[in-house]
Structure 1
Amino acid sequence: MKIRRWFTVSLVILLVFIVNGCGKSGNTSGHSTYNGGDTVPQPIEVHLQVNPIEAKAGETVKFEAKVTHQGDHVDDAKEVMFEFWKDGDAEDKHQKVTVDSSGDGMYVLEQAFEQAGTYHVISHVTAKDQHSMPSTEFTVK
């Protein structure tokens, strides 16, 4: 009888270990955990630069979006688009230009502007199942 009881107790303990082990998994997806194991994606980082910030009419302005994720360059973004418009323009006057990676996480567009004024630019970046939209202003004189 003692052997049978010992076998039953051992079997129950073994099953508890197996069931407990099946519910746990390693975190190899680039996500952090919080609140008991729910995952939240690590954000992409987009650094938007405009050069020069004050341009002359007809001069080329360079837009650069540097995209990184967890410190690594992102060259395979699903979409990177620059949207720009002159202050006061209606939304249907916004210009949108999609660009490809130039390497090292850089997405670059060069564009000339003929009319003087204050302009706005937003870089729409979709990568790693996330979307980021940093924006800034620049001036054409």
Structure 2
Amino acid sequence: MRNQRITGLFATLMFILVVIAGCGSNKSTSAQTDTMLVPIQVELEVAPSPIKTGDSVKFTAKVTHQGENVDDAKEVMFEFWNTADDNAKHNQVQVKSAGNGTYVLEHTFEEPGTYEVISHVTARDQHSMPSKQFTVE
């Protein structure tokens, strides 16, 4: 009976040691994870200001990751609509890199109103959706 207790205690101790060993950290994996957790940065610009009906408006998304320009985003799309109209169509236009981390769309608005634009950016396994509201006079 005493041998059974010692064997049971030994088995329990070995199990605990195996679990603790399995929970050890791998520094290279940890460093890779830390790099991946740094979020992409997206600066959304709407120009010119003020915007007149019939004028060309430029939407620009400047995309960076860890201070470096991102020219290879998986997807960059601008979505815009008139906020005063609950049934307004949400226009969605996908764009390619214009270089130096910038993605640009030019559009002309024929009707005055308050509009919203969202830039949908997917890069470095992340998604960012900054938005801006602007007025067309």
Match of 2:131 in 1: 135
1:24 to 18, 23, 26: 26
Structure 2 unaligned runs (5+)?
Answer: 1-20
User: Matched residues, percent identical?
Assistant: 57
Listed as ranges, the matches of 1:12-91 within 5 Å are 24-26=26-28, 29=32, 31-32=33-34, 41-90=37-86
After superposition, the C-alpha distances for 1:72-129 in whole angstroms (9 at most, x for unaligned) are: 0000000000000011234660100000000010000000000001110000000001
Q: Distance in 2 between matches of 1:139 and 1:59?
A: 12
Match for residue 107 of structure 1? 103
**Structure 1: which 5+ runs fail to align?**
1-18, 33-38
TM-score, with length taken from structure 2: 0.76
2:122 is aligned with what amino acid?
A: T
TM-score, normalization by structure 1:
0.74
Moved over 3 A (4+): none
Partner Cα separation in structure 2 for residue 68 and residue 91 of structure 1: 34
Aligned-pair distance for 1:131? 0.4
